[in-house]
């Protein structure tokens, strides 16, 4: 599905005509028609306004080209506080601000599955899957990810009764691993990428760049993402492939003298 189809879909859900939508955007109905027929695309500024008027996420409008439902391609890099400050300034000047939020992510593990354990921490193995409950303001989201080479499968659903879900987890022996507490500032960059600047309590500063608009096969999209990282003068050797919960669990193990380092 491309951006024109997305605009038409969300416009109809809001029961707006092309003329009514055009008036809210201060453009002509011919412009809206041109978008929906995929002859032209709205600017980034208009995409932001469209998301507000149509009550959808910006990323919902940008999922175009190759279908990538339930697939995520992103790179996370550890950065210094100085780099964080410089990147924040650069994004303010060259990208579209989305939001600033505080996020609490609690990670879980079924008793019969070893997402992470003492042996994996000791040998610094890559963690290939995570299960978490994420708190986003007044919303809670259940999320599962499984990683492959350069992408991961991702499934998530909003939950309206977190406490009951936690009781279900307990009954099924799905145990809590760790809670990640972070502040995130999010931007849309180059009409294609979601850039998140994170400060994670007890871990420090990170940047996470995720592809939000696919037009090529995943491997080629990943190669382009690497080019973006290089252009931002980020250190490819600092790419983090384990994730925030791994590092916090590792720190917890060290603190409790469970490992010998």
pLDDT at 63: 55
pLDDT at 13: 83
Domains of the chain (ranges; CATH) run 3-62 (1.10.260.40), 71-255 (2.40.320.10)
pLDDT band at 22 (very low <50, low <70, confident <90, very high): very high
Q: And the tokens for 102?
A: 């505080």
pLDDT at 24: 94
Rounded average pLDDT over 46-75: 75
pLDDT at 93: 95
pLDDT at 66: 44
Instruction: Check residues 84 and 41 and name the one with the higher pLDDT.
Output: 84
Q: In this model, does residue 140 exceed pLDDT 80?
A: yes
Q: And the tokens for 214?
A: 């696919």
Please check whether residue 259 is in contact with residue 121, taking contact to mean a CB–CB distance below 8 angstroms: yes
Rounded average pLDDT over 141-153: 86
Rounded average pLDDT over 136-160: 88
Question: Within 10 A of 200 (CB to CB), how many other CB atoms are there?
Answer: 19
The CA distance from 164 to 169, in Å, is 9
Least confident of 38-42, 166-170, 174-178: 38-42
Confidence (pTM): 0.73
Q: Which residues pair with 180 in a beta bridge?
A: 105
DSSP 3-state of 79? strand
> Between 3-13 and 29-36, two packed helices, what is the crossing angle to 10 degrees?
120
Least confident of 43-52, 68-77, 200-209: 68-77
pLDDT band at 1 (very low <50, low <70, confident <90, very high): very low
Q: In this model, does residue 75 exceed pLDDT 60?
A: yes
Rounded average pLDDT over 126-153: 88
Please check whether residue 64 is in contact with residue 215, taking contact to mean a CB–CB distance below 8 angstroms: yes
Q: In this model, does residue 177 exceed pLDDT 80?
A: yes
Question: Within 10 A of 172 (CB to CB), how many other CB atoms are there?
Answer: 12
pLDDT band at 65 (very low <50, low <70, confident <90, very high): very low
Q: What percent of the chain has pLDDT over 70?
A: 93
Q: In this model, does residue 150 exceed pLDDT 80?
A: no
Rounded average pLDDT over 235-251: 92
Q: In this model, does residue 153 exceed pLDDT 90?
A: no
Q: In this model, does residue 228 exceed pLDDT 90?
A: yes
Nearest CA to 223 among 73, 72, 76?
Answer: 73
Average pLDDT for the chain: 89
Q: And the tokens for 107?
A: 């990670």
pLDDT at 53: 93
């Amino acid at each position: 599905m491309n951006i024109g189809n997305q605009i038409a879909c969300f416009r109809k859900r809001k029961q707006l005509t092309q003329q009514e939508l055009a008036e809210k955007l201060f453009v002509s109905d011919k412009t809206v028609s041109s978008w929906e027929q995929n002859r032209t695309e709205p600017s980034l500024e208009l995409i932001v306004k469209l998301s507000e008027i149509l009550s959808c996420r910006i990323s919902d409008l940008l999922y175009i080209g190759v279908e990538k439902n339930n697939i995520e391609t992103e790179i996370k890099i550890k950065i210094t506080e100085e780099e964080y400050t410089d990147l924040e300034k650069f994004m303010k000047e060259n990208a579209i601000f989305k939001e600033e939020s505080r996020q609490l992510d609690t990670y879980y593990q079924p008793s019969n599955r070893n997402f992470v354990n003492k042996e994996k921490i000791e040998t610094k193995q890559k963690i290939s899957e995570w299960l978490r409950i994420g708190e986003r303001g007044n919303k809670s989201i259940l999320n599962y990810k499984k990683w492959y080479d350069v992408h991961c499968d991702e499934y998530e659903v909003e939950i309206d009764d977190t406490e009951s879900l936690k009781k279900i987890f307990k009954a099924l022996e799905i145990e809590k691993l760790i809670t990640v507490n972070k502040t995130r500032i999010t931007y849309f960059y180059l009409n294609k990428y979601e850039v998140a600047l994170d400060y994670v309590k007890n871990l420090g500063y990170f940047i996470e760049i995720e592809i939000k608009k696919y037009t090529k096969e995943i491997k080629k999209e990943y190669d382009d993402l690497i080019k973006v990282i290089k252009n931002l003068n980020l250190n490819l050797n600092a790419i983090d492939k384990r994730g925030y919960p791994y590092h916090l669990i590792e720190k917890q193990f060290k603190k409790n003298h469970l490992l010998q380092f």
